[in-house]
Amino acid sequence: AVVSTQSKQWYQRRVHGDSAISVQLICTSFCLLDPIIEMSVPFPEIKSNHSLVAKYVTEPLWKKLSMVKTKTSGFTLSKAIACAVEFDNQHCGIYAGDWDTYKDFAAVFDPLIQEYHGISADSVHTSDMDVAKIQGNIDPKAPVHSTRIRVGRSIDGFGLSPGITKEQRLGSR
């Protein structure tokens, strides 16, 4: 169908607070909608301006990734960096919502993780659970004042704590 300029209409819809999405809807005489979506979310003000998020979430990357949602839990870059946007005291300022977050937002996560852990881009993680190989540097004369053990779970196909949906949480029980 040929669509005239007069049949094009532009709409503004509010999502995610003040963020706007422009959607161009092309209507034919049969009331069929062929959406051509032109989306962008305004670049956020990152209050933690000395954080790793402020360093690695650039406007060009934001423009490229701001509308991406992960398959597992619909997690977005906006959700990942919410604490750095909201608070001015974050060092790192980013959280992954699910496994897909690391892949979908790799352009942000990879260099940020590398700097945070002081590793190079070609580093490979190795895991060795042989307790005999553990060598500590704890002074045996020093008393233990405090200890903490954190246990978390990561289940394939489910969001991590920041991104798990209610349905996923109930399904993981």
Q: What's the rounded Cα separation, in Å, for the pair 79 and 16?
A: 10
So what's the pLDDT on residue 53? 97
So what's the pLDDT on residue 42? 94
So what's the pLDDT on residue 18? 36
What pTM value is reported for the model? Answer: 0.62
Region of 118 on the Ramachandran plot (φ > 0 left; ψ -120 to 50 alpha; else beta): left
pLDDT tens, the chain, 173 aa long: 333 333 333 333 333 333 333 333 333 333 344 344 445 689 999 999 999 999 999 999 999 999 999 999 999 999 999 999 999 999 999 999 999 999 999 999 999 999 999 999 999 888 888 888 877 777 778 777 777 777 666 777 777 777 777 887 777 76
- Phi/psi at 80 (nearest 5 deg)? -60, -35
DSSP state of 51: S
